[in-house]
Structure 1
C-alpha cells in the first residue's frame, strides 16, 4: 500500500519520514510513502491515513491506495482523507479531471476536443485507438485513468554518514593524548564504513573547546580510502599546523562514504605510487612550503602566458598509454630572468642574462599578446624566439608598458 500527502511545504517538513523510511518527493507539495508493513506500528491503512493527516494538519490531503499513481491522483484530486481498497481504483478515480494526468498540453487539448474530461471518460476509450493516435503515451494515460500500476516508487536514499563522538570528563590541551582519542574514534568510524562496504572521501573533525567555541577541520581525500592509521596521521599533521585555540572537551569525527575505487594496473604502464603514501607525503610537504604551493597545475581562462592555478593533486591518476607526439619541449624559467638586449629599440642582436648570453644567430618575432585591459593590472608583451651563439634556442619577451626584457625559457 502507498500513501500520498498533498499539502503546501510538505516535502520540506520531513513529516513523511516519521511514518516510513521509503519516501519519494514528487514536488514541494506532494510526497509518496510506502506504508507496506507499517501496520504493526500504526495500525490498519485507514488508521495510518488519519494519523498522517493529524500530524500534517486539517488542510492536508491524504490518500491511501494499492498503487503509487492512484494515491497521487487521489490526494491531488480529493480533499481530506481518501482510502481506495484494492480493485476499486477505476471507480474511485473516475470522477477526477484529466488535467491531473501529467502529460503534454497538446494531448490534453485533443482530449478536450474529443469531449474527454474525466478519468472515467478516458478509461472508456478503446486502448488500441489511443495507441494509434498517441503511441505509448496514450496507453500509459489509459492505464493511469483506470488506476492500474504505473511507475514504481523511487525513494530518496539519504547519503549515509559514519560518525563517532566522545565527550571528555577533563579538557585535553596536548596533541599526544588527543591523538589517542582520535585513534579510538577513527577505528569506530572505519568499522562503520567497512560494514557498508564503502570507503571514505572526506574526513571531518569537530572539536568542542573549553571556552565554548568549536574547532572544525575537513580533509578532502584525492581518492576513496579506508585506513584508520593513515587518517590518524593526516589529522595529526593537520592539527599541528592548525591547532585549536583552547583545550578540547569533546571530539567528533565523521566520514563521507564513497564507492571503493577500482584498481586496474596496465601491463605496459609504469607503477604509480600508492595513493595513501602519496597523500601523506603531500601533506607533509604542504606543512613545509604551504598548502597553496602543493598540487597539480591547472590552466586558467586567460591569454596571459604562464598563468596557472594550483589544484589538489590527484593521487593514482592513470597514465596515458598512447605514444606522445614528438616535438620540442619548452623549459620555463620561473620567475623569468631579467635580460639586457641590444640594440634597445630594434630587433634583438645581442642578449645578456644570468642564464644565457650570446649573439643572436636567428630570430623569429615579434608576437604581440595582451589581456586584462579591463582590470587594474593590464599586461602586454612582445615575444621573440632566438637562436644564440651558445647553441641553444630561447624565448625572450619585452614588457610593453615598462620596456624591460626577460628571458622566458629555453627549448630542449
Structure 2
C-alpha cells in the first residue's frame, strides 16, 4: 500500500520561537507500509520566517545516522539560517528517533524485535516522508540529506522521483551495487590514510594510543557506567578522525590520561568520564543496531557483520593486535562490531536482534531506471577525505542520477554541514540553479 493512499492522522500545533513560526506536526503511520497493522507516531518540526507564505518552497531535512533525530536548534546560524532565506524547513525525526516513537533499551520491549527494527531503513523513512508531504498538501518539495540522509534521498528518487524538485546531498551518496564488504574495504583504506595524517600532525599520539591499550589489556579500568573498558572498545574513538576538529579533539583526550599513584598507572576520572560519553550508545542505540542494515540489498546476501570481517584483512585494524609489538596499530572508525552488544550496557538488550539483522536478506532500496530518469535537479558536496562515505562510491552513484551536479572538495570532512553549513548550502543552492 502506497503512502498517500493510506489515511494518516496528522495533528499540527503552532507556536513562535527565534522570531519564527514553528509548526509541530505529529502523524500516525503504519509500522509496515506494505502490511498495515500496528502504528507509530512520526514527528516533524516546521520552521518558517515571518514573511513566508504558503507558496514558499518547503525543504525537508533528512538527518544523518542512522538512528539520530533531527536537530533541535537553539540558534539560527549555519545551513539552517541560510536555508530559511528561501524555504520553510521541515526537520523530520526519522522513525525510532526523537519524538517519532523513540526506541532504546527503556522502550516497550515488544518493539525491540527484528519485526520492528527491520522497518527502520530508508524505504520506510521515505514512505513516512511521502505521507507527511501528502498530509501537508505539498506538491513537490526540496530535500537536503546529510550522510545517511543522502542515502534516504537516493531511495526517495528511486521510489517517488516526482515528489522532489531539488535534491541536496552532503556527506556522500550510497553505493548502490556493491556489497557491504566493499564499502568497508574502502572506509578502512581511507581511515588508514587519515590515521597516518593524524600521526604526522600529532607525533606523540601513536605512542599514547598504544600505551593506553596496553594498560587496558592488563588493568581493570571501569567507566562511570560500571563496565570494564576494553582496549578494543577504546579503539572505536577513531570515529572522531572523520570530523573537522577530530585531530585536535583526540589530541586533547590523549594529552594527559593517567594518574601515577606510587608508581602505578591509573586512568584519570575525567578521562574515563569523557571516554564514557564518547563510547556509549545510550543516546543513539539505533545507530549501532541498524547501522549495517543500511547497506543491505545492494547485492545478494546478508551483511553478516561486514566491518568485523573486513577489519581482519587490513593491517593495523585487526581486533587482537598487540599494542607493543605489532608494527601498525590503528583506531577504528564508523564501524560496528558484534562484541559491542556485549560490552555497552545500552546495546546489551539488542544483542539478539542485531544478530538477526546481520544475517537477514534485504530487499533493494534503489532503482537505477528511476534514478536515471528522475526529474529533480540535484547537487552534492562530496568530500575527498571522507572516512564515513568513500568518495569513489559517492561519485559512481552520482553519475547514475540524471541531473546531479557534484562538488568535489578537500576543504571539509564528513561533518562539513555542521562545520560550515552556511557556505555549503549556499553553494549547493546556487549549483542547482546554475
* TM-score of the superposed pair, with normalisation by structure 2: 0.20
Decide which structure has the larger Cα Rg and report it: 1
Pick the structure with more helix per residue.
2
Higher relative contact order (CA 8 A, sep 6+): 2
Pick the structure with more strand per residue.
1
* TM-score of the superposed pair, with normalisation by structure 1: 0.21
